[in-house]
Every structure is written in structure tokens, then in C-alpha cells.
Amino acid sequence: MNSIFSGTRLRDMIRSIRACKTAAEERGVVRKECADIRASINENDPHDRHRNLAKLMFIHMLGYPTHFGQMECLKLIASPGFPEKRIGYLGLMLLLDERQEVLMLVTNSLKQDLNHTNQYVVGLALCALGNICSAEMARDLAPEVERLIQFRDPNIRKKAALCSTRIVRKVPDLAENFINAASSLLKEKHHGVLITGVQLCYELCTINDEALEYFRKVAPLFALDRSIYAYMSIAKCTEGLIKTLRDITNSAYQPEYDVAGITDPFLHIRLLKLLRVLGHGDADASDLMTDILAQVATKTESNKNAGNAVLYECVETIMAIEDTSSLRVLAINILGRFLSNRDNNIRYVALNMLMKAIAFDDQAVQRHRVTILECVKDPDASIRKRALELVSLLVNENNVKQLTKELIDYLEISDEDFKEDLSAKICSIVEKFSPEKIWYIDQMLKVLSEAGKFVKDDVWHALIVVISNASELHGYTVRALYKAVLTYSEQETLVRVAIWCIGEYGDLLVNNVGMLGIEDPITVTESDAVDVVEDAITRHNSDMTTKAMALVALLKLSSRFPSISERIKDIIVKQKGSLLLEMQQRAIEFNSIVDRHKNIRWSSLVERMPVLDEATFNVRRAGSLPASVSTMAKPSVSIPNGVAAAPLVDLLDLGSDDIMAAPSSSGADFLQDLLGVDLGSSSAQSG
């Protein structure tokens, strides 16, 4: 025996590792212990083998490599003594997994131990096989495991059933070999064996259609009640499982199985899962289990987690089986009670289930709308988001106004990190279920006022399209936007929509054109309208898009408000010194247009935008049509200086005949007139 190594015990090693002050010190201790273990392994000393492996398992749990001790596991498993086998199998389950090639060497030892006369050795082999079984091992050892399902000791039967579950998962082709053995486990009175047998049947039904049909037809069963030992020969599996579940639900207090007042909730849940599989797609089986599911749903207490777990599985089963409308209303009411629970986990799973339940019974879920809306205001972020998704599914034409009002009211007081999700949902709901355009515009203005900086570009683009199509609401909209932007000038998206509308419909704002009965008249001068646009340009936190839109609005207002055109020109001229190249270019071009507006057809250049095609915009927004494709394409005519004729014709409102009749240098003349730039005779002649 190695005298240096024999004095180091597992307890001493753990104590020395825990005493380390730094990670480097710990690595040094582990390195020294690993070196001693390697030395002992090289000496092939059987007396210290179990101690070496125990140390290696602790070192493995700390995250250090221990692959050099894998063969020691196989040697201990092959030893005749039970203590050595126990530590060997424990090391096998910790240090190896099914991907290790070394695992193939242990197959023969496992086969011998599965046929061992000592039931404890058999139990060790079943535990190891159930944890690390590979597909090859499953094929080799499946007959031994199938035989052990009928073993006399209930602990061995339980472990064999669990091992069989692993085998059929790894090799589904072997499922048919375990059908008869699994059905025999359903007659067990021992809860441990019964729960593993139910789990094995569930696994077989989910991966094998023949097994599912078999369990739907016949299977033997013992009554679970200890006072009844009559054998029910060739009873239907569904009826037998229902009787078992009824016996558990109605059983008296049993201390060995009681968990928080619920008799064996683990078996409850396994039985409900198996009934769910058997009832799905089978109307007869679903009818049989209606009464017991209603009984479980009404008799189970919901003041403890164990009862809530059983109720949740009962709801899952009710939703999965065939149509039973009364049961589904009962299940949705249970979920509604879950929403009032103080436990966040219970509320979250209830919201998830309600999202599935909408597909079955929308009206029953609608009854809990108030409680769901309260969950949108929950402090927990995950519950808020899930409740918001559920609310969006509950919206329809009848309740859209009420739900939108509730969400917008909460938007005013919600957290900053939740405003983006909440505003996106509100905009989606308003766009989808809007009953009329005026209501749509009002709600969108409220969203932009409260969370405009969180709204994405496609939302305010869509709002502008809707506004342009609502000609009777142009005056109402520009006045509402003007009042909103005075109060919420920090909301970037609101400012963009407001200056676009002021640029297009500024004359309607000043003259109070298109007043509706619900409006109060307001007094807005031309200078007031220009002040809003100027403020958007000069504000330090305005981005490039907003400033560029403001310059375009000023250009249009210079035509609509001739009396203050000089002030507008001064604002545009100031932007010539902007640090932004885009702003410089726009300012120079627009200033040239204002200076020479009499030389071109001014009213056509800055007239109101034509009505935007709402259908085309929606198609482009959905990504079905590239933005570069124009729905009003016109054939372009080449001009000798290289300028496309069609855009220039649209800009100056000239017909193609005028262009063709013009001399070859007309393109340069137009640009010179438009921008005030002398292109020179050489550029004109080069065409």
C-alpha cells in the first residue's frame, strides 16, 4: 500500500479544500490530490480504489477534470462486494455519460448485476442503467429490464419501470416489448410502483400509436382501495384509471401519502396526464372521465401549492380532451382564481393557459377580463407582458373602445421600460379594430402624447396615411395635433406628425376650417403655427428626420402664409450654417426656391400632398412589395444633359410635350432657375 497516500482521507481533502482562501490555492490542493490519486491508480492498489473514486467525485463536482478515473469505476463495479459496487455505480453515474466510449465496457457487468441474487445489487444496476443508458445498452439489456418489472420486490419493480421509461425514450422501437409489462403495473397497490407504471404507460402512449390503442381498449387493474382486493379482469384501461383516481381523491387521510392535505399529489398528476393522452381524440374516453375531472376540480383545495399543482394538471387535461363545454367553463374559472393568487408563478401559468383556452371558449375567458387587466399592471415584468398578450387576444369589435381606454390610462403611469411594449400593443389593437377614423386618430394621438419616443416609425407613417385619406378630418386633426404638441413637445414622434400636418394643412389651422361639433374654436395665428415648426428645428434633442421635415413644412408654409414669408426665409437661411450636411443642402435649395418662387409654378410645387394609397402602404408595410416599386410609374424621357424628365415634369407641373418641344439645354435652365446655380455653357453643350 502506498504509505504516502494511505493517510489522506476524503474528509481531510474536503477540509483542506474548504480552507483555501483563493482559487489558486484551491487549484494547488486539487492538483496535489489528483497527482496522489494517479500514483495510487498506477500502483493498482484495490484497497484505496473506493477512496480514490470518492475523492474524484468530489473533485468532479468542483468542476475539475477527472477522466483519468473512469476505469476505476469499471473495476469497482466488477468487484464482488456490495460496498465497492455501490461506490462504483455512483462514480459511473457522475463521471460518465452516454457519450463516453468507455461505457460500452460496463454492459457485461450490468447484465450480470441485473441477474444477481442480491436485490440491492440489482437495484444499483437499474439505477445506473436508468441514468446513463445509451441506445446500444438499451437494446442489449432490455430483456433483463422487462423481466425485472415482474420481480417480487416492489422497489425493484419501481426501478425497473423507471429504467424502462429511459429505454423506450432512447429506442422507441422497443416500446412494443414493454406494453404488456407496463399494463401489469397498473394493478399495483403500492403507490411507488403504481406511479412509475403510470409514467411508463404515458411514455409508451406518447411515442407508440399501437400502445395508445392498446391502453384505450383493455388492461387488467386492481382497485387501489386496500379494503377491496377484487381483481377486475379485462377492464378498460380508462375506466380503471378513473376508478384509481376516484379512490385517491375520496380516500381518507393517509399520513404516508399526505402532502399539504392532498393524498399523493404526484400520483394525482401522473394519472391526469395519462388520462389526457387517452382522452385526446377519443370522444368515448372523454365522456367517461368527465365526472371524475369535475370532482377533482371541485374537491381539491387551492390554498396550498400541492392542490394548485393538481388543479393545473386537471385544467390541462380538460383542455386536451374532446369537447366538454361545461367542464371547460369550470376549468377557466379555476384559472381565473389563479389570477388572484399572490404567487407570481401561479398567475403566470394561469395566463399561459388562458391564452390557450381562448381558442376553445372565448366568452368564458372574457368574464375574467377585469382580472386580466389588473395583471397588466402587475409589478412583475413577465406577468405584465404575458397579460398584455392575453388582452390583445381578447379584443374584438365590441370591447375595443373599453379595453383601449384602460390600456391608455395605464400607459400614462406605467414604467418607462414597459411603455414600448404597451404602446406597440395599443397601436396594433387600434389599427386592427378601429371602428372609425376619428376614433383611430384620437387614440393614436393619446399614445403619441404619452409614449411618442417609444413608437416605431411604421406606426406614425400609418397615421399620416390615414390622416391624408380622411379629408373631412384634416382641420380637426391639425388642431388636435397643434394643441398636443404644445404640451408634449418632448415626444419626437408626435412632433413629426404635427409638423407634417401643419405644413400640409396650416391654413385650416389658422382659419378654423372644418370645425366639428365636438370641438371648441381656438385662435391660432400664422406666427403661432410657424413657432411650432421653428421650435422643432432649434430644439437641441430633435433628430435629423424631424429637422428635415420641419424645413419642408416651412417651405410649404411660405406659400400658405405670404405675410410672414420673410420670417420663414430667415429661419431657412439660418440652417445654411448647420453642422448637418443634409440640413445645409435643404436650406440652400429651399432658400433658392423661396427667392425665385415667381419664376416657377409655385402653387404646384408646394401644393398639398395627394391622397396616399392606404392599401399600397399596408402591402409595403407587410413586406410584400419593395418600397422602390412605384404604383404610379411613368415612362421617363431622357434629356440631353442627363436629367430624368419625368421627375422634373412632376416637380414643375409641365407636360411631356413641353419638355420635348424645349431646346436641348432646357434641363440646365430649369435647374438654374430652381436652384439659382449657373451651370455654364460647357455643361449644356456637353449634352
Residue 670 has pLDDT above 60, yes or no: no
Query: pLDDT, tens digit, for every residue of 533-561?
Result: 999 998 888 889 999 999 999 988 888 88
Radius of gyration of the chain (CA): 39
Mean pLDDT lowest for which of 327-336, 346-355, 412-421, 658-667?
658-667
Q: State the average pLDDT over residues 556-580.
A: 87
Q: Which three cell numbers stand for residue 492?
A: 419626437
Query: pLDDT, tens digit, for every residue of 114-147?
Result: 988 889 999 999 999 988 888 888 899 899 999 9
Asked if residue 271 lies in contact with residue 244, where contact means CB atoms within 8 angstroms, the answer is yes
Residue 679, pLDDT score: 37
Residue 324, pLDDT score: 75
Asked if residue 174 lies in contact with residue 138, where contact means CB atoms within 8 angstroms, the answer is yes
Cα separation, 652 vs 478, whole angstroms: 28
Alpha helices in 115-219 (DSSP H): 119-132, 135-148, 154-170, 179-185, 191-207, 209-217
Place of cell 379482469: 233
CA pseudo-torsion sign 506, 512, 514, 520: positive
**Burial profile 478-494: b = 16 or more Cβ within 10 angstroms, e = fewer:** bbbbbebbeebbebbbb
Query: pLDDT, tens digit, for every residue of 496-544?
Result: 999 999 999 998 998 888 888 888 888 889 999 999 999 999 888 888 9
Q: State the average pLDDT over residues 237-252.
A: 84
Asked if residue 302 lies in contact with residue 231, where contact means CB atoms within 8 angstroms, the answer is no
Q: How confident is the model at residue 659 (pLDDT cuts 50, 70, 90)?
A: very low
Asked if residue 526 lies in contact with residue 576, where contact means CB atoms within 8 angstroms, the answer is no
C-alpha separations of 303 from 378, 464, 542, 543, 683 in Å: 21, 53, 55, 55, 88
Residues 6+ apart with CB under 8 A from 543: 492
C-alpha separations of 208 from 177, 282, 329, 618, 642 in Å: 11, 16, 32, 47, 73
Residue 530, pLDDT score: 92
The single-letter DSSP state of residue 608 is P
Q: Which phi and psi (to 5°) does residue 556 adopt?
A: -70, -35
The single-letter DSSP state of residue 234 is E
Residue 540, pLDDT score: 82
Query: pLDDT, tens digit, for every residue of 269-310?
Result: 999 999 999 888 888 888 888 889 999 988 888 888 888 999
Cα separation, 315 vs 235, whole angstroms: 26
**Burial profile 420-434: b = 16 or more Cβ within 10 angstroms, e = fewer:** ebbbbbbbebbbebb
Residue 663 has pLDDT above 60, yes or no: no
Q: What are the extents of the domains in the chain? A: 1-96, 444-633, 635-687
H/E segment holding residue 278: helix 265-279
Residue 650, pLDDT score: 42
Residue 625 has pLDDT above 70, yes or no: no
